[in-house]
């Protein structure tokens, strides 16, 4: 029995520049952090007494005799990629709902790979986990996904990730414990109650990116990554959070221009209520269209914002481990 634990992430700045359609032309950069909400994957060898060869348990149960029969695309393509053909009992658990903008799909792919490598007793690096997950999602499943979620999930922590045609570089943010804790404490994350398929939302955005019609917005969003890093390094905790919040607000305005599907009336209403109640700024996590919305706010305004928004809040902390094996027997 192997159990992996893989975090989801909050993407603060630069989202959209991690798509090959942009960064292979101009280079991309994102700033994000993993949080202590996880995807758990258990993998066990299945005995030969069952009629089926593979059992996959998630929101549904799949009992199949071959890998090709598996409906779950990431499970199917990951097993095919690693050349594993059966006798597996696979179960997937999550702290938060899927399709909500926290990168859970990529966290699963990374965590599943991590578990399978452990089952096969094969060593792997964080870089290999991220690179393989990107290949599976982009080339085998053919989803409209970028390259940041897999890297965040594999590495963990607060990072600037830079994308070039030649490769991906991960640079941990240099931040004091005091600043990190104050940043953490100043964040509010709410669940809008809306789920969506990111690949559907991103189809229009990717087409716009490919056409170069959104390059001005994407260049601005990329530059915000380095402006945010400057605030984190130079400013005191309170001033840092206020500056990052204002930058988040600006980033949200740019993000809404990338696709007509990023926002809607319900999301705009939530955002406006939070800002009116005192939030410095915020944005939807992930592709848009629903899921989780997060804000940076003064500590003395958090209760007012909670009351104004009236949505379910997520209690969380930043985490720094990335994908790990938590049980092996």
Q: How far apart are CA 76 and CA 74, in angstroms?
A: 5
Using one digit for the tens of pLDDT, what is the confidence trace for 74-119?
999 999 999 999 899 999 999 998 877 899 999 999 999 999 999 9
Q: Distance of CA 324 to CAs 11, 84, 160, 319, 328, Å?
A: 21, 21, 21, 12, 11
Cα diameter, the chain? 63
Is residue 319, in this structure, part of any structural domain at all?
no
**pTM of the predicted model as reported, rounded to 2 decimal places:** 0.94
One domain, residues 119 and 207 = no
Residue 77 CA to residue 14 CA, distance in Å, equals 29
How many Cβ atoms from other residues are within 10 Å of residue 276's Cβ?
11
The CATH number given to whatever domain includes residue 264 is 3.30.70.890
> Is the separation of the CB atoms in 327 and 115 below 8 Å?
no
Q: How far apart are CA 227 and CA 168, in angstroms?
A: 20
> 85 in a domain, yes or no?
yes
Give CA–CA dist 99/37, Å, rounded: 14
> What does the pLDDT profile of the chain (329 residues) look like in tens digits?
999 999 999 999 999 999 999 999 999 999 999 999 999 999 999 988 889 999 999 999 999 999 999 999 999 999 999 999 989 999 999 999 887 789 999 999 999 999 999 999 999 999 999 999 999 999 999 988 899 999 999 999 999 999 999 999 999 999 999 999 999 999 999 998 876 555 566 677 778 788 888 889 999 999 999 999 999 999 999 999 999 999 999 999 998 888 777 888 888 999 999 999 999 999 998 766 778 999 999 999 999 999 999 999 999 999 999 999 999 99
User: Do 17 and 141 reside in the same domain of the chain?
Assistant: yes
**CATH code (residue 129):** 3.30.230.10
| Token pair for 87 | 């006798």
Q: Specify the DSSP element, H or E, that contains 115.
A: helix 104-119
CA distance 14 to 3: 32
For residues 148 and 203, what is the distance between their CA atoms, to the nearest angstrom?
17
- Residues 147 and 291 placed together within one structural domain of the fold: no
Boundary (domain end) residue, out of 128, 156, 173: 173
Report if residue 328 sits inside a domain. Answer: no
Q: Are residues 203 and 158 in the same domain?
A: no
196 and 130 in a common domain: no
How many domains does the chain fold into? 2
Is the domain of 94 the same as that of 17? yes
CB 156 within 8 A of CB 27: no
Classified as helix, coil or strand, 245 is helix
Domain shared by 125 and 224, yes or no: no
Q: Do residues 190 and 181 make contact, with C-beta atoms less than 8 angstroms apart?
A: no
- H/E stretch holding 222 reads helix 215-234
What residues make up the domain containing 123?
Answer: 2-173
User: Looking at the structure, do residues 141 and 271 belong to the same domain, yes or no?
Assistant: no
Q: pLDDT digits over 153-204, tens only?
A: 999 999 999 999 999 999 999 999 999 999 999 999 999 887 655 556 667 7
């Amino acid at each position: 029995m192997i159990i992996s634990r893989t975090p989801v992430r909050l993407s603060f700045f630069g989202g959209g520049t991690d798509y090959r359609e942009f960064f292979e032309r101009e280079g991309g950069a994102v700033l994000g952090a993993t949080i202590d909400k996880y995807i758990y994957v258990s993998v066990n060898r299945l005995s030969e007494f069952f009629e089926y060869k593979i059992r996959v348990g998630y929101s549904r149960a799949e009992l199949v005799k071959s890998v090709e029969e598996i409906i779950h695309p990431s499970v199917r393509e990951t097993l095919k990629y690693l050349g594993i053909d059966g006798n597996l009992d696979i179960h997937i658990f999550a702290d938060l709902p899927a399709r909500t903008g926290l990168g859970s799909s990529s966290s699963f792919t990374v965590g599943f790979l991590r578990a399978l490598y452990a089952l096969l007793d094969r060593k792997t690096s964080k870089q290999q986990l991220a690179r393989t997950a990107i290949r599976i999602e982009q080339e085998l499943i053919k989803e409209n996904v970028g390259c940041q979620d897999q890297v965040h999930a594999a590495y963990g922590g607060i990072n600037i990730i830079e994308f070039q045609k030649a490769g991906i570089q991960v640079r941990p943010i240099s931040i004091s414990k005091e600043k990190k804790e104050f940043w953490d404490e100043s964040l509010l994350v709410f669940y809008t109650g809306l789920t969506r398929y990111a690949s559907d939302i991103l189809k229009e955005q990717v087409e716009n990116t490919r056409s170069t019609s959104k390059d001005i917005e994407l260049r601005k969003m990329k530059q915000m990554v380095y402006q945010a890093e400057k605030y984190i390094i130079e400013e005191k905790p309170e001033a840092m959070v206020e500056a990052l919040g204002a930058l988040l607000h600006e980033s949200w305005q740019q993000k809404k221009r990338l696709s007509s599907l990023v926002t809607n009336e319900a999301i705009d209403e939530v955002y406006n209520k939070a800002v009116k109640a005192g939030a410095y700024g915020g944005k939807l996590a992930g592709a848009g269209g629903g899921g989780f919305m997060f804000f940076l706010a003064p500590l003395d305004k958090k209760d007012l914002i909670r009351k104004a928004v009236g949505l379910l809040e997520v209690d969380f902390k930043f985490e720094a481990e990335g994908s790990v094996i938590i049980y092996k027997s």
